Structure 1
Amino acid sequence: MYQQMIFVNLPVTDLDASKKFFTALGYSINPQFSNDDAASVVISDTIVAMLLTRPFYATFTDKEIVDPRTTSGVLVCLSAESREEVDALLGRAIAAGGTDLERVQDHGFMYGRSFDDLDGHTWEVMWMDPTATEA
């Protein structure tokens, strides 16, 4: 069966710093789709974050590019295998220079936390008890 992919395109101010940030989270850079204007961050087999320099990002849109430090345009949410992995990923993000948004969602069967990356894009990490989805 065909596995649809998602490519999240994000404008970044400092491409090298952003690449270091995401590799510190445990993700890899696909050099085949990376250059001086873009970095392809492989999050999973079906999820890729394309980090684009702001001038290069502007070639894909006629709209104003928001400043994610002051304006929210998208919330990216990633699943995690466990509550511990939620905390571990958030810890790696903070250690790499990200900002803990100090928003903990704990509903027992679902647990999540959020951080901003170096450019202010908000990433949520969420675990859900698989038995809760069966009910």
Structure 2
Amino acid sequence: MSKMMIVNLPVRDLSASTAFYVALGGTVNAQFSGEKSTSLMFSDSVGVMLLTHDHYNEFTQRPIGDARRDSQVMIVLTVGDRDTVDATLASAVAAGGRADPNPAQDLGFMYNRHVEDPDGYVWEIVWMNLQG
């Protein structure tokens, strides 16, 4: 089995967050989803698990921070071209996200923008020209 990366996120409103992450490009994995969580896959090896606060608290004794107030993590999602950066951001905003909480960057070989999910987690949507 190849290695996978799954990001677990506590969310306030599971339905709203699921809609946001589907708009961001995730596909719901029904096998690992239910009333208290939604599993979304962005590729064969990258996933996001959304957990209600009560369910998330079953796995940790630490308090859940407020991502709207404190920067906790910035997660990068790469896409295939510059236009897809803007299209992905527009789709995520239409599903409840907030566009550009951080300034966009256009370095020629790399273009990125940010979108904040309904709970305040920031996703950086990036295109990079790896051919140089």
Coarse TM-score class (shorter-chain normalised):
over 0.9
Percent of paired sites with the same residue = 44
Match of 1:21 in 2: 20
Match of 2:111 in 1: 111
Match of 1:96 in 2: 95
State the shift of 1:16 in Å: 1.1
Gaps of 5+ in 1: none
Pair 1:36-2:35 in alignment? yes
Query: Alignment partner of 1:51: what SS?
Result: strand
Match of 1:63 in 2: 62
Q: Given residue 56 of structure 1, which amino acid in structure 2 is its aligned partner? A: H
Q: Given residue 106 of structure 1, which amino acid in structure 2 is its aligned partner? A: D
Query: Alignment partner of 2:131: what SS?
Result: helix
Cα distance between partner residues in 2 of 1:24 and 1:106: 23
Q: Cα deviations across residues 61-88 of structure 1 (Å, max 9, x unaligned)?
A: 1212101111111111011111111111
Cα distance between partner residues in 2 of 1:7 and 1:49: 5
Match of 2:45 in 1: 46
Q: TM-score, normalised by structure 2?
A: 0.93
- Which consecutive aligned stretches of 4+ in structure 1 deviate over 4 angstroms post-superposition? none
State the shift of 1:102 in Å: 5.1
Query: Alignment partner of 1:45: what SS?
Result: coil
Cα distance between partner residues in 1 of 2:6 and 2:80: 21
Query: Alignment partner of 2:35: what SS?
Result: coil
Cα distance between partner residues in 2 of 1:63 and 1:25: 28
Moved more, 5-14 or 56-65: 56-65
Q: TM-score, normalised by structure 1?
A: 0.92
Cα distance between partner residues in 2 of 1:54 and 1:117: 16
